[in-house]
Structure 1
Amino acid sequence: MSPSISESETGRKSKLKEFLDEDICEDILLESELLLLSFATGIQDAAAWPDYMCFASNQTGNTLFLAIGVAGLTHDAYSFPNIGVSLSLFVAGGLVMGQLGNYFGVRRRLWLLISNLIQTALVFCALIIQYSWPIKRDGSAAMAVIACLAFSSGAQVAMSRSLKVTEITTAMATAAFIDVVIDPSLANIRNRLRNRRVLFLVMLTAGCFVGAFAQREAEKLRLQNWGLAVGLEELDLSDEHNHLLDDTKTNAAVKDLLLAIEAVCRGEEKVYANQAAGKEKQSSKDHLLPRHGPRDSKREKLRWAFGAKAKRVAQIEKFTSLVQNLHDLVPINNIRPGKSRSSIFDRRNDLKYESYNCDEIRRDIHIWLLHASTSPSELYEILVERRIEGTCDWVLDRPWFLGWTSSTFPDEKAKILWVNGSAGFGKSIICAWITHELLSKLKPLGYFFISSDFESRRDPFIAIRSWLSQLLRNPTVFALVHEAWANNFEQKAT
């Protein structure tokens, strides 16, 4: 090798070393990179929440949900183990990478390159884990995904804060909103700091919506692929369907989950219809996965999107949960030929709602209907327990009771049984025992007990809500109430 070539290579290496050892400057390229990271953060959190019930970057939300959960106010509405992992790994990522940055130089180009490579590698690790194991809300695989994303997010925020571009945090929007509105130069045409904050908020919000809509479309595709894999074509079973669908209980559970998904999709259309005034909503009655509402102007679509943000996130979350329940109930890798072709919905009146997969949804609806942790039905259970063995049975043999419960009772007469007596004579216990007897013979049946010390005695509608909560095991009632809940979950049931 000639001396000139050797000197040339040495010179290139020296220039590369100098380039990597330099501190980066604050310019439009750095701003653009931080804005792209903000966009990616929005996508990541919007996609992580429906799958794992926690955020990877938004630790303000995680801290709030953790406190609410510890106080027992959410009834398992969030995944507290995942939130704990996310919060702790986010702090760990910021601590480790932040201190390493202080040691090597927070603006040093080589360190920033290494930091970004580590963050990217962690995101790809989360991707590999997520697609190597079935998506579960809890468990070691879920925690591993959250750990990778949260550590990467902590490192990302530590890096962006160390660069001193405080207007683009890449994750936290609360301060940016306030900083924009209190800016004394807000109305100035040339205001670089304001422009940074506004662009950051736009990119973060855009990422959230892109992630949410992508998650929804992915779940729809996942649902369609599941139907093809298990042999479910247009709500009919093919000749080579999954043998698990021949089981009555499994069949009933699948049917109810599909009804719930249809209700969520109908609610999705109503969000658009309520926001886009004067536009006719496209009917989804005959479609499992409805199309979007009519095409509108970009301004109206943007107004609709921002106005329905919370409802959209909850709908996507429920949609994701329901699709996962279908995969858990009838795995696509468990396919054996079943019986001959038959329709799931042909047996609607004969199937009972007995699937544990819908217990969580039903529990959420119970809470929404009753507004409180104490159900009026608990008073009935207390009264039944107070009954002394052998008492109250005499009521069941009386002619007036037998006539009242008879199927030949005249339809034109009011079917009311009035139990009258002085205070303390046991009327409430007799009524509770009559209810106990009727529950063993009549399905469906709703009841409501109230006492003078009951906190909601001034609300007559709680009786109707209580009856609905008791009838949720009926598929038709469940579908109707679930649709109302999906569209009005932010408000108390009335």
Structure 2
Amino acid sequence: MSFSACFIWCGFQTGNVAQLGIAIARAFDPIGERTYGFEKPDQQAVCSLLSFLIGTTLGRLGDKIGAKRRTWLVVSSLLQVLLAAAATIAHHYSGQSGYAGTRHNPSWTNPLGFVALAFISASLGLQGIIGKRIGSPMNTTVVLTTTWVEIFNDPLLLAFKKVQSRDVRVSGVLALLFGAFVSRAISGGGGVVAALGALCGFRLVQTVWWLLTPSPEL
């Protein structure tokens, strides 16, 4: 959704960091091509990166409660629901379409658009640390590059049998691909608000899932 709006991947911060480096380097370009300050796409990258970092630092609360305890998993999932809901409301009242025209004409350029981007990024930052703490190989939203490396270096990559180390990572990649397809299909049919609403619904399902999952014995 965020990429359709402003070409920013809220869950992949590597590209945003590289974009900021390029933005700084443009200040040293030849006269006539040189730019000063961050342009709107660069500002959106900064917004996403900082919000992601704020969201992921919430994982420290989980460290105190117990990163794998049901209490924290339920609370953190509810926090993600609230962050996604806040993004939905911000986008709705931003008055922007949520679809970028070109690279030089992104959406979410007004204050409420930035707020929507920030809340989505914070939600994915929190999701990232949760997946990291529970050691889930399905946490491809944040570490897809690492997942690809692990898949293609699996010694049983081409084995015609069930291989858990390979299969679970491939399933994660396919789930991400399917999720991106569904997100775009929903936003194309019902708009960005509908897609963000669906995200809230999935987060609620995840919350109930954790609620019904017993905590491990510590």
TM-score, normalising length from structure 2?
Answer: 0.71
Gaps of 5+ in 1: 1-46, 220-494
The 1:204/1:163 distance shift into structure 2, 3 A limit, reads: same
Q: Is contact 2:87–2:117 with CA below 8 Å preserved after alignment?
A: yes
Give the whole-Å Cα distance in 2 for the aligned partners of 1:183 and 1:77: 42
Q: 1:125 offset after TM fit, Å?
A: 0.7
Aligned match for 2:76, one of 112, 115, 122: 115
Partners of 1:79 and 1:137 within 8 A in 2: no
The percent identity for this pair of structures is 25
Contiguous gaps of at least 5 residues in structure 2: 97-106, 192-218
Structure 1 counterpart of 2:88: 127
Query: Which one has the largest radius of gyration?
Result: 1
Q: Deviations over 1:439-470 (max 9, x none)?
A: xxxxxxxxxxxxxxxxxxxxxxxxxxxxxxxx
Structure 1 residues 151 and 190, CA, compared in 2 at 3 Å: closer, same or farther? same
**Partners of 1:170 and 1:110 in 2: how far apart?**
24
Instruction: Measure how far apart 1:52 and its partner are.
Output: 2.9
**Helix, strand or coil for the counterpart of 1:173?**
helix
CA distance in 2, matches of 1:62, 1:90: 11
Match of 1:212 in 2: 184
Higher-RCO chain (CA-CA 8 Å, sequence separation at least 6): 2
For 1:203 and 1:210, how far apart are their aligned partners in 2? 10
Name the CA shift for 1:61/1:78 in 2 (closer, same or farther; >3 Å). farther
CA-CA distance at 1:159 after TM superposition: 0.4
Using the TM superposition, give the Cα deviation of residue 153 of structure 1 relative to its aligned residue in structure 2, in angstroms. Answer: 0.7
Which AA in structure 2 matches 1:146? Answer: L
In the other structure, the counterpart of 1:51 is 5
Q: Provide the C-alpha distance between the structure 2 equivalents of 1:174 and 1:116, rounded to a whole number of angstroms.
A: 25
Aligned partners of 2:66 and 2:160: how far apart in 1? 35
Seen in structure 2, the aligned counterparts of structure 1 residues 53 and 190 have a Cα distance that, compared at 3 Å, is closer
The answer as to whether partners of 2:6 and 2:108 remain within 8 angstroms in 1 is yes
Encode CA deviations 1:146-182: one digit per residue, 9 max, x unaligned. 11111111110100100012x2224121111111111
Contact 1:92 1:151 in 2 (8 A): yes
Distance 1:120 1:144 in 2: 16
Runs of 4+ aligned structure 1 residues displaced above 3 Å come to 73-78, 212-219
Give the distance between the partners of 1:85 and 1:77, measured in 2 at CA. 12
Question: For the residues of structure 1 that align with 2:53 and 2:19, how far apart are their CA atoms?
Answer: 17
Deviation of 1:82 after TM superposition, in Å, equals 1.3
Deviation at 1:118, TM superposition (A): 0.4
Q: Please tell me the residue identity of whatever aligns with 1:141.
A: L
Match of 2:149 in 1: 178
Aligned length: 171
CA distance in 1, matches of 2:90, 2:39: 24
Superposed displacement of residue 55, structure 1: 2.0
* Whole-angstrom distance in 2 between the partners of 1:218 and 1:66: 33
Q: 1:201 aligns with which of 168, 173, 184?
A: 173
Is the CA contact (8 Å cut-off) linking 2:131 and 2:139 kept in structure 1? yes
Structure 2 residue 48 is matched with structure 1 residue 86: yes
Q: Distance in 1 between matches of 2:144 and 2:39?
A: 24
Distance 1:65 1:196, change over 3 A: same
Please state if 1:62 is matched with 2:32.
Answer: no
Contact residue 40 and residue 109 of structure 2 kept, 8 A:
no
1:106 to 61, 67, 71: 67
Contact 2:108/2:117 (CA < 8 Å) preserved in 1? no
- The structural deviation recorded for 1:207 is 1.9
TM-score normalised by the chain length of structure 1 = 0.33
Tell me how far 1:141 sits from its aligned partner: 0.6
Q: Give the Cα–Cα distance (whole angstroms) in 2 for the partners of residues 213 and 77 of structure 1.
A: 30
| Other-structure match for 2:120 | 149
2:110 to 136, 139, 144: 139
Report the counterpart of residue 160 of structure 1 in structure 2.
Answer: 131
- Are the structure 2 counterparts of residues 77 and 217 from structure 1 closer, same or farther at C-alpha, using a change threshold of 3 Å? farther
Specify whether residues 193 and 77 from structure 1 end up closer, same or farther in structure 2 by C-alpha distance, changes over 3 A only.
farther
More helix by share: 2
- CA offsets, 1:56-90, max 9 Å, x none? 11112212222222222898886111110110111
Match of 2:25 among 59, 67, 71: 71
Contact 2:94 2:110 in 1 (8 A): no
CA contact (8 A) 1:66 1:84 kept: yes
Contact conserved, 2:154 with 2:166, CA < 8 A, in 1?
yes
CA RMSD of aligned residues (A): 2.3
